[in-house]
Amino acid sequence: MRYILLIYGSEGADPAPDSPQATARTSRYAAVAEDAGSRGILQGAERLRPTVDARTVRVRGGAVTASDGPFAETREHLGGYYVVDCQSEAEAIELAARLPAAEEGCVEVRPIWEM
């Protein structure tokens, strides 16, 4: 079954981009992606731009509005995702638990509804 691992965290808590902490954190994400790739279960993974670059689109009564930012006020923001094809939910949870965001924020594991 395919799962999406939604990575949530506080944008303000990210280490400075060129710091040793950022390098170590990025290496941990890369290690999970490399492992999942070698196991043949990684189908995609991307980091998302900050929420200041996001737009939320709504259509009400035929009128389209696009507002700045994410859809709701929250402490933790969607920062990226992995799409994996796992043998079980337990395998998807094991992979999610290895992501740094699981220690700093959270990782939502959600089955993909195949259409």
Q: How far is residue 44's CA from residue 11's CA, in Å, rounded to a whole number?
A: 22
Tell me the one-letter amino acid at 53.
D
Of 60-69, 78-87, 93-102, 104-113, the one with minimum mean pLDDT is 60-69
Q: How far is residue 34's CA from residue 23's CA, in Å, rounded to a whole number?
A: 16
pLDDT in tens, 8-34: 988 877 888 889 999 999 999 999 999
**Nearest 5°: phi and psi at 76?**
-105, 135
Q: Is 79 in contact with 47 (CB distance < 8 Å)? A: yes
The structural domains of the chain, ordered by start, are 2-111 (3.30.70.1060)
Query: How confident is the model at residue 72, as a pLDDT?
Result: 58
Query: How confident is the model at residue 17, as a pLDDT?
Result: 84
Q: How far is residue 98's CA from residue 113's CA, in Å, rounded to a whole number?
A: 24
**Nearest 5°: phi and psi at 78?**
-65, 120
pLDDT in tens, 53-67: 888 888 999 999 888
